[in-house]
Amino acid sequence: RLQYEARVERDARDYDAWFEYARLEEGAASAELAEARASASSPESFNLARASAESPAVARVREVYERAVAALPPTSTSASASSAGSEKRLWCRYVYLWIYYAVFEELVAGDSQRAVSVYRAALGVLMGLLEVFRDRASEREKERTSKN
């Protein structure tokens, strides 16, 4: 945990570190929920959503994902192909963080409402990003036509 904290503190956009950190915390949460399920008086009496809401391990997973998705990738309009490829890779990893977060909420934590909220938040971020890129593409097109 301390190693992952150090990595993401050094570079908040190290999405591989965020994935590894989230997996570590998810493992702890899964173990805690399995223990709670095993200690339930009967399988029918176990409520995954309630157990998740009360679980400190689930709260840690959520905190890791929230911090990870708060670290937006850059949106520069660099002409360099290598930097554009690097930026694209970062955005792909970032989108996967949102997806993994929603999947965790639905399948591990058993909170489908929260999973829907995560998906909606992801769409909100991505729609805003599309507007930024659309505006920048329009500006580049205007610059190009004014030069000719």
Other Cβ atoms closer than 10 A to 125: 15
Model pLDDT for residues 11-53, shown as the tens digit of each residue:
999 999 999 999 999 999 999 999 999 998 888 889 888 899 8
User: Tens digits of per-residue pLDDT, 93-134?
Assistant: 999 999 999 999 999 999 999 999 999 999 998 888 777 777
Decide: residue 30, CB within 10 A, 0-12 exposed, 13-18 middle, 19+ buried: middle
Q: What is the DSSP string of 28-60?
A: HHHHHHHHHHHHSSSGGG--HHHHHHT-HHHHH
Strands, DSSP E only, in 64-129?
A: none
Higher pLDDT residue, 137 or 122? Answer: 122
What pTM was computed for the model? 0.84
- Tokens 């904290």 sit at which residue? 5
